[in-house]
Amino acid sequence: MTKQVAVFDYGSGNVRSAVNALKRVGVEVNLTSDFSTCLEADGLVVPGVGAFAAVMKDLHARRGDTIIDRRLAGGRAVLGICVGMQILFERGLEHGEDTAGMGEWPGTVEKLPAPILPHMGWSKIQVGQGSQLFSGITDERFYFVHSYGVTA
Averaged pLDDT of the chain: 92
**CATH number of the domain encompassing residue 121:** 3.40.50.880
What is the C-alpha radius of gyration for the chain, rounded to an integer number of angstroms? Answer: 16
Residue 1 scores a pLDDT above 80: no
Contact 121, 144 (CB under 8 A): yes
37: helix, strand or coil: helix
Q: Which of 73, 74, 71, 27 is nearest to 46 (CA)?
A: 71
Confidence of residue 137 (pLDDT cuts 50, 70, 90): confident
Residue 82 belongs to what H/E stretch? none
Q: Which residues pair with 31 in a beta bridge?
A: 7
| pLDDT digits 0-9 by tens, 27-79 | 999 999 999 999 999 999 999 888 999 999 999 999 999 999 999 999 999 99
The whole domain housing 23 covers 4-151
Spatial separation of the C-alpha atoms in residues 54 and 50, rounded to whole Å: 7
As a whole number, mean pLDDT of residues 124-145 equals 85
Confidence of residue 125 (pLDDT cuts 50, 70, 90): confident
Contact 112, 146 (CB under 8 A): yes
Confidence of residue 141 (pLDDT cuts 50, 70, 90): very high
pLDDT for res 50: 85
The size of the chain, in residues, is: 152
Contact 29, 22 (CB under 8 A): yes
Burial status of residue 6 (CB atoms within 10 A of its CB: 0-12, 13-18, 19 or more): buried
What is the phi-psi region of residue 63: left when phi exceeds 0, alpha when psi lies from -120 to 50, beta otherwise?
A: left
Q: Which of 66, 5, 51, 65 is nearest to 32 (CA)?
A: 5
The number of folded domains in the chain is 1
Q: What is the pTM of this model?
A: 0.86
pLDDT for res 85: 94
pLDDT for res 101: 97
The rounded percent of the chain whose pLDDT value lies above 70 is 99
